[in-house]
Chains A and B, each alone.
Chain A
Amino acid sequence: MTRRLRLWVLNAGLLATAALYAAACTGLPGFGGSRHPYGDRAVRTALQQHTANAVSSVNFDQRAFDTLGEETVLFACVLGTVVLLRQTRGEKRVPPEPAGVPAALRRYGLLVLPVTLLIGLYVIAHGQLSPGGGFQGGVVVATSLHLLYIAVDYKALERVRPLGLFELADGTGEAAYVLLGAAGLIAGSAYLANTLPLGTFNTLSSGGTVPLLNAAVGVEVTSAVVVLLAHFLGQALEIEGEDGDAKDGGRTA
């Protein structure tokens, strides 16, 4: 098939999809309407379970099993990326040369790093109370470590980022979630059921298992992002092909 013909087929398909989708949209409830049967029930259950952040309640209590699935997709993606970005035969690791960083950038980075780290940990810890949680806070914590790469250099990042430990933490976060689910079975209820005391509404210890599952996800997302970025940075900065150029390593094959 020539490129031109392919484009025609594609555009015909896209137009048909657009027409069907637009027709389907006319059957949807109006935008901004007041009828949200699932939302209303989810909010009622969240308040019953003493979880001020209804989104966290949905994620880690009402749909905790689905979140286990999503977390496992995340874990599998990290595993796959680690396997794909290994050092292959004919490649060697060359420690990158330290590059100069403007003094202003260095000062700014070192100033912002602890603040970012603290915000990340705060967002994870308060997932059951205020907007945030393990998924969002984990990304913020991982970002804070990489400010060291921007503000200082790669070596400094490597020193605060023992990769083996973060890989272990990734697995631990996933395992903690699975085991916390099993705790529900031991307590005589269903898998991932919220069996802990629910605590006082709007305090740090409210929500039963929500803060614990939240922390497990926080650990996993933090280490997942760190491990992913570590392998991409390794490919870009350290690993070189036989002819000595990382970018064109495979061109001769």
Chain B
Amino acid sequence: MSLLPYLTAGWIFLVGVHGIATSRNLVHAVGCLAVTQSSTYVLLLAVGYRKGATAPVFSDLPTDAPVVDPVVQALALTDVVVGATVTALLLALVVQTAKRHGTVDPDELSELKG
């Protein structure tokens, strides 16, 4: 079943979006966003996979060895680190929301407070 890895990525994405939309807690919503984002890693690495190939690092490989696509690996790598810091920024926003409004339930955050 050669479509399974792509469909898995889509499934992780949809589960994450569903989690964000139905979330009753902002910390949980940020966690779901991280899940949504991790679907891109699965998709990228699935696109770059080549059967019978190894990692694109030639320090102990002959230079003509079959390797998987390094471009998508580079994308996934920066994505992981940047995603972690974006999560930190969002959690900092949640900390401030909790301090100002005394709640982290998005449904209770309907009114504006100065």
Contact = CB atoms under 8 A, between A and B. Distances in A.
Contacts of B86: 73, 77
Contacts, number: 170
B109 interface: no
A31 B4 contact: yes
SS class, residues of chain A in contact with chain B: helix
Contacts of B47: 28
A15 to B, nearest CB: 9
Interface residues of B, number: 55
What range describes how many residues of A lie at the interface?
A: 35 or more
A3 B48 CA distance: 41
A232 interface: yes
Interface stretch (A52-60, A149-157, A189-197): A52-60
SS class, residues of chain B in contact with chain A: helix
Contacts of A249: 99
Interface string B91-105: 111011011111000
B56 interface: yes
Given A36-B68, A202-B59, 20 more contacts: A14-B18, A17-B14, A28-B6, A30-B2, A33-B51, A36-B50, A39-B50, A42-B56, A43-B67, A52-B58, A53-B58, A74-B81, A77-B88, A85-B92, A133-B77, A202-B58, A232-B88, A232-B91, A253-B101, A253-B102
